[in-house]
Chains A and B, each alone.
Chain A
Amino acid sequence: MFVAVISVLPPSSRRLWRAARSALVAALAWAAAGGSVAAASLTVLMGDDMAASSEFVQQLRADQEPGGRFELVRVSPGAPGAAQPEAAAAPDTERAANAGVRTRGLRPSAADTPLTMAVGPAAARAAVERPGQEPLVLAMLSRLEYETLKASSPALRRGDRRVGVLLRDPAMADQLALVNAVLPQKHRVGVVATPESEPLVRELQRAAQGANPAWDLRVEYAPDARSIASALRQVVPQSDALMVLPDLIGDNQAATLSVLRAAATAGLPVFGASEGLVRSGGLAAAVSTPSQLAQQARQLGQKVASAGTGSGNSNNAPLVEAATPATVRVNATVARGLGLRLPEERELTDRLAAPR
């Protein structure tokens, strides 16, 4: 993996820079504990050019304080040397990163609270593998991407660095809450999953069991995203609604359309976590926008920084948060086709935002 650094210091000043950084981290922890101070120094690693990532980064920059340092580092996936050890690769990495630097802001000062934020899975992997002890926030990751990263990167649990993870998908409890808001009388929810979806399924099952009344969850596993017909045939007759998880099926357009067709044929509503799903035939989805995620990520960064400086958590487990749903999208045409009368999107959003 190739890492580019926008701004680097002279080698003679590194020792001094480390001492100053420790002081800065302490100051940031203090500011975070006070709850009113934003990180003054923010390094953003961006691994892709998707519109959502760009919107996320743009929102981060917009929220940056005028005196704070904002550094954007673009990570090119698949670059040579990605598998090199961090210690030996660090200077080269920094040097090579000069090529992709777009200097944007101010040079960091000793008083800034440094925070590194990785956008997307590629950037997250690069950030985890990067040496350093500054707090790290991994944003715009799906649950499965996070699970994969966790399984493949032991560096994620390093003791000298606090890591926060912001998932881009809403929590399963929020999804079930949306289903309950739309179909108050229905309790049977069907899910078609693949073996890779197991973490999601477990979360969903936990959320279902924790709800009151408990959901009747029907989960069928398909061998892969291209062979879901059999599972659909099992699930559809026993469900009042289908839910598309953000897994291989939810990311596969053909599989998603199959689920939508099956549901439409059977007259079942489909719930998901993306606006595209609603546009393509789903009934409703709890959606988090990149801007809202950026704000949530900045808050998560403050949490991570303050936790690192304040408590000295020895657990070393990353602080994981699901996306807080910003809004609810409803397909009125589908609702009309299903003969449902739904509340307004704003009302549903409010219901979802209400504390449970």
Chain B
Amino acid sequence: MSSVPPSHDPAGPSGTEGAGTPSQSPPSPSPPPASFQSPHTLVVRGNLQRDLFRLGVVPCAAVALALTGWFTHNRLQTLEAAFDAEGQAVARQVAAMSDLSLYAGDVPALQNVANAALRGGQVTRVEISNSAGIYVTAGPKTASLAQLRMFTSPVTLREASRASAFAPAGSTAAGDTPIGLVQTFRDTTAYTRERSRSLIAGIGIALVALMAAWASVRHMARTVARPLRRVSRTVAALEAGHFEVRCDVVEGGTRGTHELAVLAHDIDRLAERLQRNRQISEERVREATAVALQRMAEAEQAALSRARFLAAASHDLRQPLHAMGLFIDGLLPGATPAQRPAVLRLQESTEFMGVLLDDLLEISRLDAQVLTPAIAKVPLAELFDQLDAQHAAAAVEARVRLRWSDRGLAVRTDAAMLRRIVGNLVTNALRHAPEGGTVLVAARRSAGGVRIEVRDNGVGIAPIHQGRIFEEFYQVANTERDRRRGFGLGLAICARIAALLGTRITVRSALQAGSTFAFTLPAARLADVAPPQPAPMAPAPLVGLRCLVVDDDPAILDGSRALLEQWGCQVECVSTGAEAIARLGTGDIHYDAVLCDLQLAGDGDGVDVIDAARRLQPEALAVLVSGATGPEVLQRLRHGGVMLLTKPVAPAKLRALLTTRRQVPAH
């Protein structure tokens, strides 16, 4: 599933009205404007509701606590001041009323004053005294001193009022001198109770205020956070691809200025646009997919047709070519000296044709992707030795120095495929190296593993050709199509094998500066490499080897019989599968090898013969000989584990195969 890439157009939704049309490509991501780039990452914790809650409750709590504390403190202070003021006022009043009586020593009058003060109820005890020994008290002395607070006022003779002021100027000193002392005592029980009540009331009011603030702010925070949460959920759903989701947040009033409602409305519009764009995009994708599928089907069909054509052509060409090769090999020993050069040219041409067919068959196999690399640890020294032995003669013949440098490295790859790549590249390099030149095959460690290079100091490849040298039948300097210089399929095969091995061949070349082909393979530790197989034994003679040849083509049957008998084998030929299975099932004759064509007369299938041979005579070497190169056939044979020789079979290859069979009984 594909989706419309998000628009990064800073102009906003209104600036991308036509972006969804198929004719326009989506705008490329552009960096946000400088005003949107924050200098640092903003870290936020919690959630918005909690922030709003804190924003509302914390100031309310602070103000409520501060105000309550202040008012409670003031209230307590007022109570304290009132309590003290009353006690002090009574003391002062008693002092004012008792000044002259205390001066005159009028104890009854003082007692009356004290009793009168006591009757007011504000004080519980009054004491009037002076230094002359007058001591008048009123009120009980039983109350605990801890519950009493004492107020003292000195008794001075003073003017009663301004109107009756009598003190002459400068003679007020005597009036300031205390002539006695008044002490009043107040019971603090009621005051303490009132103080506690005020304190509790203050705390209660603070708690009520806090609770009210908490409830109010909680409600407001929810009111603000709910639409935001819905917007957030909507955005998340949009991000998940659910473009049909909407915020559904509308403003209760008609003014349309609530920011959250505006935000929700914008997001709904964005969702609508995204949904519309996705519908357009899906339509485009469906169309493109249909086109691609059609093209893929056409390509597959074309590839299939090509493979089928190659398979058919290969099969149909191999059959006569196979017979031709067998006959030429049979004619060569008996040819006259005058005929021999022609027979030899005939044989050479046949071999070229075989090589060409082999290359075509291999490309067909690679394209059919029926080859699976068998990955193993391959020591390069051994591989290079084999390749050196294979190409040394050609190098000598071309007068080119061939150098190998493995540096003791090993790689993890399919040894046969690697040998084929390097061999092709070396063949190619030998072909293009000048006389006296040098071809260097070197391996060295690189970042991705082991890099293998094949370098020559030839004429080089012009840059114009470097992009096409891996195409089939593309040759840079063989306009005359000299078949001895190859067919232009080597690099194409190398490129396909390299792709199978997970690497890619690169070429670095310049005119008159030589060329370097290189590829990289995963490295392997040399210690993990299995010890080399012992050298193959020398070919043993095939005399007496019993072979059963099954083919519906009489010419091939004759050619095969003549060749095999020439090697000293005992040959039996049958033309149908049923006959061959019958021969195998008799149990009288023990065959060393069964060579069977794939497509037999009628509905005969060579695979059935091979299966019967495996079942009835397990010791026999069952080989299927076929010119079919179709991918389905090849895959079927591979799954069946059938040994296959493709037509035209080179006599040497057949002989080598049979020789291995000959060696088995020797063990």
**Interface check B179, CB cutoff 8 A:** yes
Known: A258-B160, A261-B157, A333-B132. A266 touches B168 (CB 8 A): yes
Known: A227-B163, A233-B166, A333-B132. A280 touches B106 (CB 8 A): yes
* B105 contact set on A, CB distance < 8 A: 331-334
Chain B residues proximal to chain A, CB less than 8 Å: 99-101, 103-106, 109, 132, 134, 157-160, 163-169, 171-172, 174-175, 179
Q: Is the CB–CB distance between B100 and A281 below 8 Å?
A: yes
* A337 contact set on B, CB distance < 8 A: 103, 132, 179
**Interface check A279, CB cutoff 8 A:** yes
* A259 contact set on B, CB distance < 8 A: 166
Q: How far is the CA of A331 from the CA of B164 in the complex (A)?
A: 25
Q: Is the CB–CB distance between A264 and B100 below 8 Å?
A: yes
Q: Is the CB–CB distance between A233 and B103 below 8 Å?
A: no
Least CB distance from B179 to A in Å reads 7
Least CB distance from B95 to A in Å reads 14
Known: A229-B163, A265-B174. A281 touches B168 (CB 8 A): no
Least CB distance from B133 to A in Å reads 9
**Interface check A236, CB cutoff 8 A:** yes
Identify which of residues 219-235 in chain A touch chain B, using a CB-to-CB cut-off of 8 Å. Answer: 226-229, 232-233
Interface size on A, residues (CB 8 A): 29
* B168 contact set on A, CB distance < 8 A: 232-233, 236-237, 266
**Interface check A77, CB cutoff 8 A:** no
Q: Is the CB–CB distance between B100 and A236 below 8 Å?
A: no
* A227 contact set on B, CB distance < 8 A: 163-164
Least CB distance from B594 to A in Å reads 159
Q: Is the CB–CB distance between B166 and A261 below 8 Å?
A: yes
Q: Is the CB–CB distance between B157 and A265 below 8 Å?
A: yes
* B169 contact set on A, CB distance < 8 A: 233
Among B132, B157, B166, point to the contact of A228 (Cβ < 8 A): B166
A-B contact pairs, 20 of them (CB 8 A): A226-B163, A228-B164, A233-B166, A233-B167, A233-B168, A257-B160, A260-B103, A261-B157, A261-B158, A261-B166, A262-B167, A264-B157, A264-B174, A265-B172, A265-B174, A265-B175, A266-B167, A266-B168, A280-B104, A333-B105
**Interface check A346, CB cutoff 8 A:** no
Identify which of residues 278-332 in chain A touch chain B, using a CB-to-CB cut-off of 8 Å. Answer: 279-282, 331-332
Q: How far is the CA of A210 from the CA of B134 in the complex (A)?
A: 42
Q: Is the CB–CB distance between A264 and B167 below 8 Å?
A: no
Q: Is the CB–CB distance between B171 and A265 below 8 Å?
A: yes
Least CB distance from B8 to A in Å reads 100
Among A236, A266, A267, A281, point to the contact of B104 (Cβ < 8 A): A281
Q: How far is the CA of A229 from the CA of B159 in the complex (A)?
A: 10
**Interface check A336, CB cutoff 8 A:** yes
Considering the complex, give the chain B residue whose CB is closest to the CB of A233: B168
* B159 contact set on A, CB distance < 8 A: 229, 261
Query: Interface centre among A259, A262, A279, by most B CB within 10 Å?
Result: A262
Known: A261-B157, A337-B132. A229 touches B165 (CB 8 A): yes
Q: Is the CB–CB distance between B171 and A280 below 8 Å?
A: no
* B179 contact set on A, CB distance < 8 A: 337
Q: How far is the CA of A245 from the CA of B252 in the complex (A)?
A: 95
7 closest pairs, A vs B, by CB?
A333-B105, A262-B166, A232-B166, A281-B104, A265-B175, A233-B168, A265-B157
* B164 contact set on A, CB distance < 8 A: 226-229, 254, 258
Least CB distance from B156 to A in Å reads 9
Q: How far is the CA of A228 from the CA of B161 in the complex (A)?
A: 12
Q: Is the CB–CB distance between B100 and A261 below 8 Å?
A: yes
